[in-house]
Amino acid sequence: MIEIKKTPMDLIDDIYSLAYWMTGNEKASSELVSTTCLNADLKAPETEVLKTFRECYLDTYGQNADLDMHETTEQSGGLVESLRQWTADIKLSVLLSELTGMRHAQISDIIGKPVETVRLWLFWGRKFFAHDNLMRASA
């Protein structure tokens, strides 16, 4: 199978599309693309650039978990943060699959989870997207 290598400009377009879907905001998307470009070597392999995008997104925005929890202990704060990262990773997995056409193994490498986990996330993540607001980013 022939693998087509994306140019840095192709990657920037993909990153902007991902950023817009993750944040829902043009300004936030532009800032996220800029941050990613500053922190990544755009000549690095595509998966490495997208790993940097994921880190920049989680550092800047995380994900609004919309949970009715009262953070009274340090443990619950860690739990909420884990859930935010989990929901962001599910959303990113679906977007990487749908917008960039990445295969499950590539997404697994970017997210850092087993392929079976990514497959499960894609199944449920697509259902969540179909019902919209369940995975909306906090901006």
Record the tokens describing residue 80, joined without a space: 């909420």
- pLDDT by residue (tens digit) across 72-127? 445 555 777 777 788 889 989 999 999 888 999 999 999 999 999 999 999 988 88
Identify whether 87 is part of a domain: yes
Identify whether 2 is part of a domain: no
Identify whether 47 is part of a domain: yes
Q: How many domains does the chain have?
A: 1
Identify whether 81 is part of a domain: yes
What is the pLDDT averaged over residues 34-46? Answer: 89
| Nearest-angstrom CA–CA distance, 103 and 93 | 10
What is the pLDDT averaged over residues 11-17? Answer: 90
**CATH number (domain holding residue 12):** 1.20.140.160
Identify whether 98 is part of a domain: yes
**What pLDDT sits at residue 68?**
41
Identify whether 3 is part of a domain: no
- Residue 124's identity, in one-letter code, is W
Which domain, by its residues, includes 80? 8-63+70-135
12 vs 42 pLDDT, higher one = 12
| Nearest-angstrom CA–CA distance, 128 and 98 | 14
pLDDT at 135 over 70: no
